[in-house]
Structure 1
Amino acid sequence: MTAAPTLAKRYIEQRDRGYWIEGTRISLDSVVYAFLNGKSPESIAQDFPLLSLEQVYGAIAFYLGSRELIDAYLKEGEEEFEKLQKSCRQTNPLLYQKLKTAQTQKLIKS
């Protein structure tokens, strides 16, 4: 007799104040931002070859089911990034300018 399939799977785990695709180093943020930028689950799976299409759909379903919580989490992360960016700009303006120049060049090449 074979075992019955598991009825519920976990696709997301919380670690170190963040959300991650279960068993990977890929953040939920990465999948959610791609999804919010209009990428299809199939395209996201291609961008992250370590993820199966099932994991991508699971991550999106988790986001949609916990949208208020995850949107607040993402906003908090964006605010923290802005603080770090401002701090870098103030403490090391030359490094900040080099990073901005490199980012601009990367965007132009894309």
Structure 2
Amino acid sequence: MTLVVIAEPAPLETDADGVVRVGKTRVTLDTVITAFKQGATAEEIVYRYSSLKLADVYATIAFYLNHQQEVEAYLQQRQQQAKEIRKMNEARFDPQGLRDRLLARQTERSA
């Protein structure tokens, strides 16, 4: 019997918003790579995110290791987008005002 070796594409898909997701799940590339960089093994990542397949996590890590510069640039871009969105939301919904209202409501209930 001869083993047929074929290359398989990375299990990554970009959604309509430009977010890269792993396999057919809602788990993002950011999530898997962040966990990996924090020292989690592929098995631990699958344990945390049960919708992932172990082979897909290994393939995602391999893709990251083979394309580290490009993935790091993507992750930086995503972090910048998150900061901008957070800033816009804080401008629209004052977090301190919300906190004050919640604390006032809590005080009213306990009185």
CA gap 1:96/1:64 in 2 versus in 1, 3 angstroms: farther
Structure 2 gaps of 5+ residues are: 100-111
CA gap 1:89/1:70 in 2 versus in 1, 3 angstroms: same
SS in 2 for 1:26: coil
Q: Deviations over 1:10-56 (max 9, x none)?
A: 22223321222122222111111111111111100111112121111
The alpha-carbon deviation at position 81 of structure 1 amounts to: 0.8
Q: Count residues in correspondence.
A: 97
Structure 1 gaps of 5+ residues are: 99-110
Contact 2:13 2:22 in 1 (8 A): yes
Runs of 4+ in 1 over 2 A off after TM superposition: 13-16, 22-25, 94-98
The alpha-carbon deviation at position 90 of structure 1 amounts to: 2.0
Return the alpha-carbon distance in structure 1 between the equivalents of residues 4 and 21 of structure 2.
Answer: 24
Structure 1 position 14 matched with structure 2 position 14: yes
CA gap 1:69/1:58 in 2 versus in 1, 3 angstroms: same
**Computing the radius of gyration over CA atoms, which structure comes out larger, 1 or 2?**
2
The alpha-carbon deviation at position 5 of structure 1 amounts to: 5.5
Equivalent position of 2:89 in the other structure: 88
TM-score where L is the length of structure 2: 0.73
Query: What is the Cα-based RMSD across aligned positions, in Å?
Result: 2.5
| Equivalences for residues 63-78 of structure 1 within 5 A | 63-78=64-79
Equivalent position of 1:56 in the other structure: 57
Q: Quote the sequence identity (%).
A: 26
TM-score where L is the length of structure 1: 0.74
